[in-house]
Structure 1
């Protein structure tokens, strides 16, 4: 599937797809100097294999530790479409992922789950210190989904993002913030993210001609036990090509944390109260809870 997907995405853009730079290992100082400080993405292939997460996390593992836990599951092409969420038992959602044969808008996804809130005992299983050593606040999330998940084009406005693929495989596409003028910014509000209107599952070359003619799209086929650094403001689009378990760290600098606690905090409060107006992704308060 990655080859077919890459060929399809290549057909949407005139410039050739470029592989993201890949390294095996790196020191904290070199990572800060060469990637974090320069706002430059990189794939790190050999620093996750010794994590406890890599050696013990699986769908069966989460079914065992997720008993009596509740959470939310998203459905469909996230960000480009309205977010549709369902509340229910964590274990039930894992079992749905195991059995899933859905495609397109019917695919369900345990996305952006606050892992240390739901499973605080897993803190020692992961190590995002490459980024977290240079932040004042961090947020760790877990992403568990079947083959076919899609997280559409967006960027993380206030945080550097480092993603570790624990099980399965994903294909991640990136576009530099220097090319934001080609990304058809969408004014809808999503906490922490800036959205693009470009829908890769319903691509219109006339509607998105600037993207097609000018964008330089980088990519990685992210395999098990590999990490990808997605710097702040870099546009990214993510496809799950297999049943996968991923975890990531959003790291906030001092300045971005202040922004989060002031202007962004107010927006999020209005968002979760359903008072932000119609121009936003659907709120949790409007979801139908399962029995």
Structure 2
């Protein structure tokens, strides 16, 4: 029997008061799934892939697949473009690795802005329009944490989505790539190769499966990998970090780290990416006193 990661189920609750949410989850920085938080949103009953196709089918959208980061593409440069209606037809017809990442659909289709509200749950949300994420069966988002260390409410619509999370305290086991926000992209977090990546044995994380209308709270700086088990889409609302340390890390990431990495990628090309991947292994094994 193959060894697996140490993952425990994320706690689930039906509803929760603002006070309890802040005390039990935000202050303790613990993830939770809230099953009935958005039942009063128009989006809860309206937002399906068919509805999105109806209101946004002619919009051209950027698509990404699971190919590793390379010097060929700029940061967040899409791999393909397609009309939303054609993309949804693709999702319906067959498994696909193509997904939509950080897309301002609510800006493109303003009528959708009437379908949600900012939950009064004790978070100071950033009020720019939220971004949407779409994926087909088998598509996934690599293991990463967010550049701004935000507290995130992640709402899922249609289908089923698997979410694997690790708290920041587990970074030392996850083969973090330097000058980036990702783990080594060749790690299969469903069936990890512990011979190649032995430090993963020590990592302790969380797992859950989201269905339509459920909300996942991801605390500041949490690592997360999302896998679409069926076609579906999600929306995230973000709140600024409460921790001064995390806020300073966010400023560093936004103001310096990403520009430095882009410069080095432009200057050294694939050699820079290969160097970072090698350093991820070297640093992780040194930190955990692992010899291979």
With normalisation by structure 1, the TM-score equals 0.76
Match of 1:62, SS state, is: helix
Residues 1:188 and 1:268: Cα distance change in structure 2 (over 3 Å): closer
Quick check: 32-41 or 225-234, which moved more?
32-41
Deviation at residue 136 of structure 1 after TM alignment = 4.7
- Which of 176, 181, 188 is the equivalent residue of 1:185? 176
1:166 maps to 2:153: no
- Which of 212, 218, 238 is the equivalent residue of 2:206? 218
Q: What does the per-residue CA deviation read over 1:233-262, in whole Å, with 9 as the maximum and x for residues that have no partner?
A: 111111111111211112224867787677
Conserved 8 A contact 1:138-1:252:
no
Residues 1:101 and 1:42: Cα distance change in structure 2 (over 3 Å): closer
Deviation at residue 203 of structure 1 after TM alignment = 3.2
What is residue 155 of structure 1 aligned with on the other side?
A: 145
What is residue 82 of structure 2 aligned with on the other side?
A: 88
CA radius of gyration, larger in = 2
Q: List gaps (5 residues or longer) in structure 1.
A: 1-6, 281-291
| RMSD over equivalenced CA pairs, Å | 3.3
1:76 maps to 2:66: yes
Residues 1:53 and 1:266: Cα distance change in structure 2 (over 3 Å): same
1:207 maps to 2:196: yes
Distance 1:154 1:226 in 2: 22
Distance 2:91 2:12 in 1: 30
- Which of 94, 100, 110 is the equivalent residue of 1:100? 94
- Which of 4, 15, 35 is the equivalent residue of 1:12? 4
What is residue 226 of structure 2 aligned with on the other side?
A: 238
Aligned pairs for 1:3-42 (under 5 A) are 11-13=3-5, 15=6, 17-42=7-32
Residues 1:87 and 1:260: Cα distance change in structure 2 (over 3 Å): farther
Residues 1:136 and 1:48: Cα distance change in structure 2 (over 3 Å): closer
What is residue 238 of structure 2 aligned with on the other side?
A: 250
Distance 1:234 1:80 in 2: 24
Conserved 8 A contact 2:164-2:225:
yes
Deviation at residue 163 of structure 1 after TM alignment = 0.8
Q: List gaps (5 residues or longer) in structure 2.
A: 274-292
- Which of the two has greater strand per residue? 1
What is residue 282 of structure 2 aligned with on the other side?
A: none
